[in-house]
Amino acid sequence: MPLRRLRFFNNNHWLRFRATSHRNFLFTGMQVFIIIGIVGFVLAAIFNGTFVSGDRQRANFYSETKEDRHARGKATDWLMLGSVISFGIAALIYWLS
C-alpha cells in the first residue's frame, strides 16, 4: 500500500501513515463500540449513585420513593447491559480482524 506524507504545522517533522484500508475501518468500528461502552458505563455509575459521598447517598435513599429507586435501578441495569454488549462487540471485532 502506498505511503503518504503529512506535514505538521508546528514543526518540521514528517509523519507517514498508510492509506485507509479494510483493517483500519474495522479498528474504527471497534473504537466506536468502546466509546459507547465507556459512556454507558459512566452513565450507569452516575444513575447508580456511585460518585456521591455516603452522606449524600443516605439522604438520597431516604428522600426518594421505592418506585423511584426501582426506576433508577432499572435504568442502571439497562445501561450496564448495553455497555457489556458494546464491549463484547468491540472484542468480537478485534478478535475477527
pLDDT digits (tens, 9 = 90+) for 3-56: 455 544 544 444 444 444 555 555 578 889 999 999 999 999 999 988 999 899
pLDDT at 21: 52
Element spanning 4, H or E: strand 3-7
pTM assigned to the model: 0.67
- The answer to whether 75 and 47 are in contact (CB under 8 A) is yes
pLDDT at 22: 54
Give the tens place of pLDDT for each residue, 75-93. 999 999 999 999 999 999 8
pLDDT at 75: 94
